[in-house]
Structures are given as C-alpha cells and as structure tokens.
C-alpha cells in the first residue's frame, strides 16, 4: 500500500478589471427578474424568458457569444437575500456549465452590497467554482482537466479587496479538497497508520507541531476506548495530535498576554464494519468515510497559518478500524476511558463515542478556552435533519451560537438539538458508569452527545454530528457525489472570528 498523494489546486486564478479577450467562457451574474449585477452588462430578456430562465439562485443559461466565446448567465436569486452563499451557488453553476475551454472569466462587478463585501463575494466564488469542479480520479481513467485559468472580474476600485478574497478562497478550497480526498480514499489505502502519515505531511508543510501516538503510547496514555475499538483489527490504531501556534504578529492575546486555545477533535474510523455488532452489506458501502471528522480537523489545521488564525489550536484525531476480529470487544465488555470513567459496550457499532471519549479527555487536559468535536456519529441525525444539515449540540449557548454563526457564513447548514437532562438516564449502566447506547430508536443522536459530555468537564464544548452531511449521494451546488469536506469551512470561520469565552460552560438551552 502507498501513502495517498494529495495535490493542491493548480488552476491559475486572478482578479481583473475586464474579462481577458482570450477567455473561452464568460459568466454574467443576474438577480431574479433578469436584473444584471453589473451596470455595464445587458441581458436579452426576451431570449432568456423564452428559455424560462428567471435568474433564480443556481440557474444557468448558456448561449453563444461574440467571436466564438460562450456566455453563461448565472442566477444570484433575490437581491435582498444576496450573501456569500448565493455567490458560491452561482459560481458552482457557472463551473458546471463550462465546456472544454482553456480559460474562463466570471464577472462579479456589482455583486456586493450592505451585507456582502467584495472580499467575501470573491472568496465564495472561488469556493463554489472549485467545489463543483472537484473530481476524485486517482483510481479511474478520466478526461483531463482542460481549464487552465480562471479570472474574476470586479470593479477597478475593488481589486485590492478582491485579491484578498481570492487568496483566502484558494486556501479554503484547497483545505476542503484535502478533506474530500482523504474521505474518498479507499480504506485499504488509507489505514490509521497512513492517515497519521498524511497528518505529519500536512504539519511539515504548514508549520504545525505533530505528535503521533502509536500502540505503545496509546496503552501508556490509558486510552481504553481507542484500544477497545481497535482490538478487532489487524491494523494498529493511532492518535494524531496537531498544534498550531499563531505568529505573534497575528495572535489575538487577552489583556494578560495569553492567547486563547481552541481544541478540535475529529473522529477517525478509517473503516467501520460495526465490529461484532456487524453492519449489513449495504450499511458498510460508504464506511470508508467514517473518518470524515478527522479529515476535517487535519485539513483545518493545515490552513490556519496561511489564513493568519489568531488563536492557538490543538487538534486530536483518534483513528482506527472497527473490525470483527477474534480479539474484538464483545457486547457486555467494559472499557475504561482516559479520564477514569467506564463505559459498558452493548453495541460495538456505537464505536465513535468510545474513541472520542478518550480524545475529548485529552483535549480537556489542555485547559482550552473551548472544545469542538466533529464526527460521523449517528444515523439518527440523518433521520432528524436529512443529509444537508448537521446536528449541533453542546453544553454552552455562547459556543453553540458561535459555531452556528460560523456555519451560516460558511454555507454549511447546522441546526441545534437539545441535550435534555431527562435523557441522561438512558445511558445508565447496571455495571459501569454509563453504557454506549440509549433506548432503541429513541433519541440516539442526543444520548450519544450526552455520553460525550461526560468527558469535557466544565469546558465549553460543542459537538457537530455530520453523519448525514459528510457524504452526498448526488451532485448539488458546489457538492459532487461522494465526500463533501463538510465542516472545514465552518471550523475555519469559527477560528478566524473566535472571541474568548473566558469562563466555564454556562449551560445550553434544553
């Protein structure tokens, strides 16, 4: 087996005042009602209306232009609801509509307003354009990428702001691409050991501190949950720790000179068979993506330096396979977690919370200002919220609000779910401190999060359940079928705008 090779974005990108004359395709942005965003652009409304094009969000209409150039009219939707997400969707529609051209230009002149800066508009355009163009082709022959350059057209007075948006958009798009590549990689090629090797590569490239805990270290560190889940696999487990220290020039220090620390934790099950509580054949088909949380935090840490994140970030990613080998844990076994609490394992397919318990315990020991974990944790969140909205839970309303605001800016929808104390008794065990399942078919997403809460002490903590959003079964907007990289944009938005909480958790709405 070889270590996967992940390549950054290679397309030449630029912001310009006018579309290059050699652009093979030009995107023209219009609002609903066929109102052009740019005052210098005219749209043949009759021609568009005959083709039932109205400028709704995400619509695209291709027509021949002058000199053999293709024009693509893309819809921004309602002007009153213009935001970076709308630009992201429009840019994705433009990207999907391109033929085999070597250069393209997207005209965003006039696409800004009271609620949307030029910088954010250009960043959103880059994210949407590249998200829609993403392909994972390592294992199949595919037509080569013909597009060599992308220009984004803005007003002459907006070039500096647009350049900043372009730079940030490339970094974020590259991070999302890495997370998608990792999650799309077959489990036979991306074992826990190899995922750890990728994390080290990211750390070396990005100036991070990396520590990899092997089997011996995992034993000595008393990570009983990770050891228990790993017991049935021939692949050894790893615990990945990455640390980002902000440069003093960008660090957002408190009055006392200290820099806040945010801890991120990502679930890294590189393949989940369910263990002895074996999944169905259909249930295993996409379980290579059960490490999407780990992929998100690794990719996020790799982008922190280039974005000038001003807080210290510590990330933990417990990674293992969950397999039904002869040494696998059995229903009824009891595992002792890093912080000394014990869990009775009644369903070995509820393994994510076991490895996260150890990682959250380690994160808590860092005395962070707050903790955010991200995990493909429960099928129940798909039942509750579908595959386009992630579940958001936690023990602190301030942090939950900050994560939700970040997810809105990032265009990655989340919805808060309650952690009501009345459900805590559902995970009471007869022989241990708790059990790893609640009542069958009742509130499984909530009881899983309540178990995680046992391992964060009084630290503000938020939990993102991305079991539905980590993978898409269809092409939609900037998302292609397969791994989505969900969470990377949200975590980066959270870190970039992070404000210290400076107090223990204050409680979340129930």
SS3 244: strand
Distances (CA, A) of 463 to 167, 353, 373, 377: 30, 11, 5, 10
Task: Report the relative pairing of strands 238-244 and 312-322 from DSSP bridges.
Answer: antiparallel
353 is an active site residue? yes
Between CA 275 and CA 281 the distance in angstroms is: 13
DSSP 44: -
Give me the residues paired with residue 107 across strands: 28, 153
DSSP 394-437: ESBHHHHHHHHHHHHHHT--EEE----GGGGGGG--SSSSEES-
Distances (CA, A) of 38 to 27, 41, 111, 260, 320: 11, 6, 7, 43, 52
Tell me if 240 sits within 8 A of 319, measured CB to CB.
Answer: yes
Pick the closest to residue 492 from 398, 407, 394, 428 (CA basis).
Answer: 407
Structure tokens at 383: 């039942």
Residues in contact with 320: Cβ distance below 8 Å, sequence separation at least 6, in sequence order = 192, 226, 229, 230, 233, 235, 237, 238, 268, 269, 270, 355
Tell me if 168 sits within 8 A of 33, measured CB to CB.
Answer: no
Pick the closest to residue 476 from 57, 7, 29, 34 (CA basis).
Answer: 57
Tell me if 406 sits within 8 A of 490, measured CB to CB.
Answer: yes
279 is an active site residue? yes
Structure tokens at 98: 């391109």
Between CA 189 and CA 169 the distance in angstroms is: 29
Tell me if 381 sits within 8 A of 390, measured CB to CB.
Answer: yes
Between CA 365 and CA 419 the distance in angstroms is: 23
Catalytic residue among 353, 398, 435, 453: 353
Catalytic residue among 56, 69, 138, 279: 279
Between CA 107 and CA 474 the distance in angstroms is: 28
Give me the residues paired with residue 416 across strands: 392
How long is the chain?
A: 510
Return the sign of the alpha-carbon dihedral for residues 92, 86, 474, 3: positive
Among all residues, which ones are annotated catalytic? 279, 353
């Amino acid at each position: 087996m070889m270590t996967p090779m992940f390549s950054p974005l290679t397309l030449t990108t630029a912001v310009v005042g006018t579309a290059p004359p050699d652009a093979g395709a030009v995107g023209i942005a219009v609002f609903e009602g066929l109102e052009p965003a740019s005052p210098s652009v005219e749209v043949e409304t009759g021609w568009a209306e005959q083709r039932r094009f109205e400028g709704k969000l995400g619509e695209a209409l291709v027509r021949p232009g002058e000199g053999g150039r293709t024009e693509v009219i893309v819809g921004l939707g309602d002007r009153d609801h213009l935001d970076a997400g709308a630009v992201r969707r429009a840019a994705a529609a433009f990207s999907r509509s391109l033929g085999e051209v070597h250069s393209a230009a997207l005209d965003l002149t006039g696409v800004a307003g009271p609620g949307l800066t030029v910088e954010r508009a250009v960043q959103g355009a880059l994210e949407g354009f590249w998200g829609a163009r993403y392909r994972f082709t390592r294992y199949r022959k595919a037509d080569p990428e013909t597009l060599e350059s992308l220009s984004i057209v803005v007003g002459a007075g907006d070039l500096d702001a647009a350049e900043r948006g372009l730079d940030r958009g490339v970094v974020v798009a590259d991070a999302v691409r890495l997370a998608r590549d990792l999650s799309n990689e077959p489990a036979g090629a991306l074992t826990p050991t190899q995922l750890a090797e990728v994390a080290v590569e990211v750390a070396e490239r990005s100036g991070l501190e990396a520590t990899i805990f092997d089997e011996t270290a995992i034993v000595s560190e008393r990570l009983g949950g990770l050891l228990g889940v790993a017991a049935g696999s021939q692949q050894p487990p790893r615990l990945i720790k990455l640390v980002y220290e902000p440069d003093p020039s960008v660090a957002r220090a408190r009055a006392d000179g200290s820099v806040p620390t945010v801890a991120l934790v990502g679930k890294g099950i590189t393949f989940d068979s369910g263990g002895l509580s074996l999944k169905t054949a259909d249930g295993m088909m996409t379980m290579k993506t059960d490490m999407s949380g780990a992929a998100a935090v690794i990719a996020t840490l790799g982008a922190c330096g280039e974005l000038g994140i001003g807080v210290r970030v510590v990330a933990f990613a417990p990674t293992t396979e969950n397999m039904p080998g002869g040494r696998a844990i059995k229903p009824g076994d009891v595992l002792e977690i890093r912080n000394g609490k014990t869990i009775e394992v009644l369903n070995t397919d509820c393994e994510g919370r076991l490895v996260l318990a150890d990682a959250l315990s380690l994160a808590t020991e860092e005395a962070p200002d707050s903790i955010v974990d991200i995990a493909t944790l429960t099928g129940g969140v798909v039942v509750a919220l579908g595959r386009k909205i992630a579940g958001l839970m936690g023990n602190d309303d301030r942090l939950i609000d900050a994560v939700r605001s970040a997810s809105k800016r990032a265009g990655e929808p989340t919805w808060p779910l309650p952690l009501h104390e009345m459900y805590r008794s559902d995970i009471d065990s007869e022989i241990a401190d708790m059990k790893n399942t609640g009542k069958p078919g009742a509130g499984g997403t909530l009881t899983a999060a309540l178990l995680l809460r046992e391992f964060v002490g009084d630290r503000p903590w938020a939990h993102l359940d991305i079991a539905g959003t980590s993978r898409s079964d269809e092409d939609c907007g900037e998302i292609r079928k397969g791994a989505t990289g969900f969470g990377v944009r949200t975590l980066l938005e959270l870190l970039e705008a992070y404000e210290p909480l400076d107090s223990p958790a204050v409680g979340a709405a129930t």
